Each structure stands twice: as structure tokens, then as C-alpha cells.
Amino acid sequence: MGTEFVYAQPVKIYFGEGCFARLGEVLAELGVQRAVLVCGRHFAPEAEAMAADDSRIAAVFPGVEQNPQLSGVRETVRLCRETGADAVIGVGGGSSIDTAKFAAAVAPNEGEALDYYRGLRAFDANSRLRIVAVPTTAGTGSEVTQVSVVSHESEKKTINHPAFMPSAAIVDPRLSATVPPRTTMNTGLDALAHALEGYWSRNHQPIPDLKAVEAVRLVLENLERAYRDGSDMEARANMAYASLLGGLSFALPKTAACHACSYPLSELYHLPHGEACAFTLDSFVRVNADARLEELCRRAGLKDTEELAARIRALKALGGLRTRLSELGEVDIPALAAACAAHPLMNNNPVRLDDKRLAAMFEALR
Ligand code: NAD
């Protein structure tokens, strides 16, 4: 094989139904004495009960919202400093895990979260709290990436830094049983977008490629089942695994055009992250169709890229996701296309796309 690559995956992964029960063991192995647990509203009662039971959970921040705000990071940092925490546990979707990661990287250092967000202070991978990531959605793969996505005012920023790499990931599919159908569809299509974008990224690598093919196959075989019946634990487990593989598919190669467009779509029209990715995913399957992508389709059990695009459209229709710009209100297509073209992830796309070509794509989605 003529390809040269460097591959590393530093997160210890615990996977399996019921494995969240091993949290205490994971904390002991990491030598954690005092942790702050970060979660969204759906997990708040359980988090409070856990804190009452285990003295190592020194405080809970239960206020994470979708497209998490820097204010949540600030509050978590305050709790970490107040309790002298040595770890942050993020339990939830990507929003909770990303809040936990950002806070863990700020808390033991000088300065406030906003200084780091604005780039006035630099993160330091050698000076951060330990991070335990526990996903409860099957989508972002944040449990195995060094990415944190946080918003401040109207800006949604992705920061990629080794300081955000979790020390351990606990992936327990049972935790996703309560995710509502629409969120199941949004997040499942996010996992699919990660696999496809990692695969077609200009920085693609052989080991992540293998994971991408398997993630695509698993999403296409299980997302509809998980959507139709959230208690179908086999489908939930396969989706949790697909999401993990999706994270490992893009962690090194990074994502491309579809994610570049998702940021303006979320910032300007408030689409949840997965729905924003799904909005353009089938369009980019067609734009990026080449011999490699045809090969992925065949290996994932599909005839070709046209079938892949059709399957994505069918999943979006099933989930009632928005697919036309007219459903988002007044859209200024040239301004949207310019914002997408200017996003740094656009440089990662295998096909070069300028704002004119993106505007033509959005015209077709009007
Ligand atoms: P989310 O974390 O915003 O959660 C969506 C909603 O589902 C929330 O209301 C949440 O409280 C609820 N929820 C979560 N788990 C639940 C459960 N088990 N039962 C009931 N409700 C539940 O959604 P997400 O799609 O997982 O994360 C999206 C965020 O992650 C975005 O900000 C996105 O940009 C970011 N992201 C990060 C990475 C990364 O590598 N760090 C990758 C992709 C996306």
C-alpha cells in the first residue's frame, strides 16, 4: 500500500448496554476525586440522584440547551473552581459533552471562558481537567473527538484542540432509549454525515475509511427502526455504535462542505445541528460522487451514489425534516452561499466549491 498516514485514537471507550453503571470504576481508574456533572434537562433528576449517592460528584450543572451557549461553560467553570474539581463528566448529546470539554480546558487555568473563546488565551492540553464523555444521543461522536462547538451571542464556533480530548467515553445505548423520534432522526443523519464527510474529506485516511463504511451501513440499516420504535434496543445499540464509528471517521480527516454549510444554516435559521447537516447531505453526495464514493456505496450494500442520495432523502421525509429553503423563512441565497463558501471546512471538500456554485445548489433547494 503506497499511502502514508499517522493514526492515533487516545480515548478509552467503554461500550455496551448498561455500561453506564461502570462510571464509578472509570472515575477510580482515572483517579478522580471530585467531578462536576454537566447535562441537559432530560437527565437532571438522575444527575441529582447520582450526586446524592456518590460523593465524588461534587456538583451538577443541569442547564445545557441545544446549540450550547458559552454562559453554560462559564457556569460549569465556576462550579469546577468552587468545588476544586479534577474532572468534568458530560452526560447528554453533543451539547452537554461539548460544554463539559470546554469547561474542563478552562477551569484549572487563569482567565475566563470568553478569553479562550475569543482566542485571547490559548488552551493547554497539559493543563486541563479530566473529561468523561457519556453520549445519550446517537449522532455527534463528540465522545471521541477533540472538538467543542459552543455559541456566544449569534456566533457558533467550532474549536479543535487536544485539550478537549476525552479521557474516557462511556457509550451505553440504553441512555438513548428516551430520545424523541425527531431528534433520533436529526442525530442519526448527523452520524451519517460524519462518516461520509470523513470519507470524502481531502485528508481521508485508510483506518477512518473502514469505520466510515461500517457507519454508513449501520445507519442505513437501523435509523428507520430506531425512529419508528425508540425502545428497539438492537437498533439503538447499532445506532450508538454507528455514531461512535462516525466520530472516529471524521476525528482526524475532519468534515467538509456539508458541515461548512451547517453552521450558517444553524446560525441564521436556527436548525438543530443534525437537521442542518441533513439539509445539504444528499446534494453533496451528488456533487462529490466519484469512484471512491461509488466504492463506499457498494461496500455499504448500496447500488450507487444515486441510491445513497435517495435513501437520505427518504429518511428526511420520514422524519419530517425541513428540505426546502422556503420552509426556513426569508432566505438571501447569495448571502447564505457566501457564508458557506467562507467557512474553513469548505477547503476540506474534494470538489472545490465557490459561492456561485453553492448559490446554484441552494437555488435548487429553494
Ligand atoms: P443535543 O445535545 O443538542 O440534544 C438535543 C436535544 O435532545 C436536547 O434537548 C437534549 O436535552 C435532548 N436529549 C439528549 N439526550 C436525550 C435523551 N436520552 N432522552 C431525551 N432527550 C435527550 O443534540 P446533539 O445532536 O447530540 O448535539 C448537537 C451539538 O453537538 C451541536 O452543538 C453540534 O454542533 C455539536 N457537535 C459536536 C461535535 C463534536 O465532535 N464535538 C460533532 C458534531 C456535532
> Does ligand 1 lie within 6 Å of residue 63's CB atom?
no
pLDDT at 149: 96
For the segment 302-311, what is each residue's pLDDT rounded down to a tens digit? 999 999 999 9
Residue 284's H or E segment, with its range, is: helix 273-287
* Nearest ligand 1 atom to alpha carbon 95: 2
To the nearest 10 degrees (0 to 180), the angle between helices 206-228 and 305-319 is 40
From the CB of residue 191, how many other CB atoms can be counted at a distance below 10 Å? Answer: 31
DSSP letter for each residue of 235-267 = HHHHHHHHHHHHHHHHTTT---HHHHHHHHHHH
For the segment 230-243, what is each residue's pLDDT rounded down to a tens digit? 999 999 999 999 99
List the grid coordinates of 116.
479562550
Residues 6+ apart with CB under 8 A from 365: 279, 280, 283, 323, 324, 325
* Nearest ligand 1 atom to alpha carbon 41: 11
Question: Where is average pLDDT lowest: 150-159, 312-321, 332-341?
Answer: 150-159
Residue 39's H or E segment, with its range, is: strand 35-40
**Mapping DSSP to helix (H, G, I), strand (E, B) and coil, where does residue 6 land?**
coil
For the segment 192-225, what is each residue's pLDDT rounded down to a tens digit? 999 999 999 999 999 999 999 999 999 999 999 9
List the grid coordinates of 245.
464509528
Which residue is closest in CA terms to ligand 1's atom 8? 66
pLDDT at 2: 67
Q: Could you tell me the pLDDT band of residue 155, with boundaries at 50, 70 and 90? A: confident
pLDDT at 319 exceeding the cut of 70: yes
Average pLDDT of span 256-268: 96
* Nearest ligand 1 atom to alpha carbon 262: 34
DSSP letter for each residue of 290-316 = SHHHHHHHHHTT-S-HHHHHHHHHHHH
For residue 40, report the distance from its CA to the centre of ligand 1, in Å. Answer: 9
Q: Could you tell me the pLDDT band of residue 1, with boundaries at 50, 70 and 90? A: low
pLDDT at 156 exceeding the cut of 90: no
Whole-number Cα distances in Å, 79 to 35, 49, 119, 319, 350: 10, 18, 23, 38, 43
List the grid coordinates of 82.
468552587
For the segment 266-310, what is each residue's pLDDT rounded down to a tens digit? 999 999 999 999 999 999 999 999 999 999 999 999 999 999 999
For residue 277, report the distance from its CA to the centre of ligand 1, in Å. Answer: 13
DSSP 21: G
Average pLDDT, the chain: 97
Whole-number Cα distances in Å, 173 to 29, 73, 223, 234, 266: 22, 26, 13, 9, 27
> Does ligand 1 lie within 6 Å of residue 92's CB atom?
yes
For the segment 45-99, what is each residue's pLDDT rounded down to a tens digit? 999 999 999 999 999 999 999 989 999 999 999 999 999 999 999 999 999 999 9
Task: Name the phi and psi angles at 12, rounded to 5.
Answer: -80, 125
For residue 140, report the distance from its CA to the centre of ligand 1, in Å. Answer: 7
Strands lying side by side in the sheet with 168-171:
12-15, 168-171, 130-135, 87-92, 35-40, 57-64
Q: Percent of the chain, pLDDT > 90?
A: 97
> Does ligand 1 lie within 6 Å of residue 149's CB atom?
yes
For residue 157, report the distance from its CA to the centre of ligand 1, in Å. Answer: 15
List the grid coordinates of 151.
455559541
Please count the residues of the chain: 366
Helices (H) and strands (E) in the chain, counts: 14, 8
List the grid coordinates of 213.
463504511
List the grid coordinates of 325.
429553503
* Nearest ligand 1 atom to alpha carbon 67: 32
List the grid coordinates of 209.
475509511
> Does ligand 1 lie within 6 Å of residue 255's CB atom?
no
Task: Name the phi and psi angles at 352, rounded to 5.
Answer: -70, 130
CATH code of domain 180-364: 1.20.1090.10
* Nearest ligand 1 atom to alpha carbon 186: 25
Whole-number Cα distances in Å, 103 to 64, 125, 256, 278: 12, 13, 27, 29
For the chain, domain boundaries? 12-175, 180-364
List the grid coordinates of 297.
456505496
- Of 91, 98, 134, 137, which is best to mutate to test ligand 1, by the most ligand atoms within 8 angstroms of its C-beta? 137
Average pLDDT of span 259-268: 95
Q: Could you tell me the pLDDT band of residue 147, with boundaries at 50, 70 and 90? A: very high
- Of 170, 186, 263, 273, which is best to mutate to test ligand 1, by the most ligand atoms within 8 angstroms of its C-beta? 273
> Does ligand 1 lie within 6 Å of residue 178's CB atom?
yes
Strands (DSSP E) contained in 73-208 are 87-92, 130-135, 147-152, 155-160, 168-171
DSSP 164: G
For residue 4, report the distance from its CA to the centre of ligand 1, in Å. Answer: 35
**Mapping DSSP to helix (H, G, I), strand (E, B) and coil, where does residue 144 land?**
helix
CATH code of domain 12-175: 3.40.50.1970
pLDDT at 154: 82
For residue 59, report the distance from its CA to the centre of ligand 1, in Å. Answer: 21
* Nearest ligand 1 atom to alpha carbon 96: 2
pLDDT at 133: 99
pLDDT at 117 exceeding the cut of 80: yes
To the nearest 10 degrees (0 to 180), the angle between helices 291-299 and 206-228 is 50
